[in-house]
Amino acid sequence: MKNTNILLAGSTGYLGSYLLKVLIEKQNQVIAIARNPNKVEHRNEDYLEVKQAEVTNPETLRDICKGINIVISTVGITRQKDGLTYMDVDYQANMNLLKEAVKSEVQHFVYVSAINGNFHRNLKIFEAKEKFVDALKSSGVAYTIIRPNGFFSDMKDFLRMANSGRVYLFGSGNQKFNPIHGEDLARAIVDMLDENTNEITIGGPDVLSLNDISKLALSALNKPIKIVHMPDFLRRITIWGLRIFTSAKTYGPIEFFLTLMAEDNIAPPFGNRHLSDYYNQEAKNFI
Ligand SMILES: NC(=O)c1ccc[n+]([C@@H]2O[C@H](COP(=O)([O-])OP(=O)(O)OC[C@H]3O[C@@H](n4cnc5c(N)ncnc54)[C@H](OP(=O)(O)O)[C@@H]3O)[C@@H](O)[C@H]2O)c1
């Protein structure tokens, strides 16, 4: 894919910044929208224009898709930062973008949900994300829904726990998944822009159990292997308690991680970046 006009929303985030890097590398013309343009890491006058826009405010998006062929959105709440709900951001902000895309007859809209989101609509995050997926599918715009496994950036939680000397897991720790590096995922997404793929589930090259990941994190920090297994009913009580005593803004991200990590989530593998290398690199920031 080369020299296509692409609007990228989410370019200041983990995945978005790798997408921006790869899109520019492949010489696409990119408009990156950001609420804080100073946060956009890449600069390239030949291929990149950064526009200030607030995806939650439709006024700031007016005509943003004029002349655009493809919209890619990685906009979503991963860790709660600004008091908005998943419905405000993962659903409504993406709807604001989609409305502009439809108006300007954009050819293709790429949206990043997450692995098995369609089977977990009871979770607050997926209630919003999958509502957007439904709207995108019926919008008339050609679409690709990306369903990635956990990102390496989110696997840093294990390093943080390991840094305290112990990793705490619910259940046996044998639940397996294949997390993916942001750059591998970005390359897969950009490669896919030429194809008519409607929906794809994708993970990294290594299938690892939670025990494996804990050991990698402890080893990267040169700590002895100490993994504490807590009974799974405590996980369920934690989710239940948080749902009762806190707002969706608090419990949403926690129920998402605690639910997906309680089951195997193995996606078709892609890429060549390994979590062990990522941990060895990141561990330097912990010492
Ligand atoms: N992390 C994972 O393990 C994982 C796994 C599967 C799928 N996903 C999904 O993949 C997508 C990208 O994830 P990521 O890790 O790259 O997320 P991220 O680093 O948190 O980046 C999210 C992007 O959305 C923007 N955003 C969030 N709230 C906003 C708001 N209220 N107004 C305007 N912009 C807002 C952020 O802008 P600012 O920089 O201005 O905040 C940022 O550009 C998300 O939809 C996520 O749910 C994540």
Q: Is the CB of residue 253 below 6 angstroms from any atom belonging to ligand 1?
A: no
Q: How confident is the model at residue 10 (pLDDT cuts 50, 70, 90)?
A: very high
Distance 113 CA to ligand 1 centre (A): 10
Over the stretch 54-93, which tens digit does the pLDDT of each residue have? 999 999 999 999 999 999 999 999 876 788 999 999 999 9
Number of continuous H segments (helices) and E segments (strands) in the chain: 10, 11
- 154 Cβ inside 6 Å of ligand 1: yes
β-bridge partners, 110: 72, 144
Tens of pLDDT, residue by residue over 210-245, are: 999 999 999 999 999 999 999 999 999 999 999 999
Cα 11 to ligand 1 centroid, rounded to whole Å: 9
Q: Could you tell me the residue range of the domain that residue 49 belongs to?
A: 5-151+179-202
Write the residue with the smallest CA distance to atom 19 of ligand 1: 13
Q: What band does 42 get if pLDDT is binned at 50, 70 and 90?
A: confident
Alpha carbon separation from 285 to 13, 156, 169, 179, 278 (Å, rounded): 20, 11, 23, 21, 12
Query: Residue 235 domain-assigned?
Result: no
Q: How far is the CA of 231 from the centre of ligand 1 (A)?
A: 31
Establish if 80 belongs to a structural domain.
yes
Alpha helices in the chain (DSSP H): 14-25, 86, 94-103, 124-137, 156-163, 182-192, 210-220, 232-245, 248-260, 275-283
Distance 105 CA to ligand 1 centre (A): 25
pLDDT category of residue 50 using cuts at 50, 70 and 90 = very high
Residue 15 included in any domain? yes
What is the share, in percent, of the chain residues with pLDDT greater than 90?
89
CA atoms within 13 A on the CB side of 215: 7
The CATH number assigned to the domain holding 138 equals 3.40.50.720
Count of domains for the chain: 1
How does pLDDT run across 24-33, given as a tens digit for each residue?
A: 999 999 999 9
Within a domain: 146: yes
pLDDT of residue 2: 55
**Has residue 159 been placed in a domain?**
no
d(CA 257, CA 33) in angstroms, rounded, equals 28
pLDDT at 43: 84
| 274 lies in some domain | no
**What is the CA(223)–ligand 1 centre distance, in A?**
31
- Looking at residue 223, its pLDDT comes to 97
Does residue 114 have its Cβ closer than 6 Å to ligand 1? yes
pLDDT higher at 82 or 126 = 126
Pairing status of strand 208-209 against strand 176-177: antiparallel
Residue 41 has pLDDT above 80, yes or no: yes
Per-residue pLDDT at 3: 58
Distance, CA 225 to ligand 1 centroid (Å)? 32
Regarding the beta carbon of 89 and ligand 1, being less than 6 Å apart is answered: yes
CB 286 within 8 A of CB 221: yes
pLDDT (average), residues 188-201 = 94
Best mutation site among 8, 15, 125 for ligand 1, i.e. most ligand atoms within 8 A of its Cβ?
Answer: 15
Task: Tell me the per-residue pLDDT of 249-277, one tens digit each, with 9 for 90 and over.
Answer: 888 889 999 999 899 999 999 999 999 99
Nearest CA to ligand 1 atom 43: 10
**Arithmetic mean of pLDDT over the chain:** 95
The residue whose CA has the least distance to atom 5 of ligand 1 is 150
DSSP 8-state assignment for residue 226: -
| pLDDT band per the 50, 70, 90 thresholds, residue 119 | very high
Judge whether 74 and 38 are in contact, CB under 8 Å: no
| Domain presence at residue 211 | no
pLDDT at 286: 84
Residue 27 lies in a domain: yes
